Amino acid sequence: MATAYHNLSSYDPAKVPNGSDMKIGIVVSEWNDNITNALLEGAHKTLVKHGVKEENIFIDFVPGSFELIFGAKHMVENKEIDAVITLGSVVRGDTPHFDYVCSGVTQGIADMNIRYDIPFIFGLLTTDDMQQAEERAGGRHGNKGDECAVAALKMIDFYRRNLEE
Q: Nearest-5° angle of CA 58, CA 61, CA 66?
A: 120
Q: Nearest-5° angle of CA 24, CA 91, CA 69?
A: 35
Distance of alpha carbon 23 from the chain centroid = 14
| 58: nearest Cα among 36, 28, 32 | 28
**144 with 152: CB under 8 angstroms?**
no
Alpha-carbon span 118 to 98, nearest angstrom: 28
Q: Which amino acid is at 21?
A: D
Query: Would you call 74 a catalytic residue per the annotation?
Result: no
Task: Check 6, 74, 97, 141 and give the catalytic one.
Answer: 97
Residue 91's SS3 state is: strand
Active site amino acids: 97
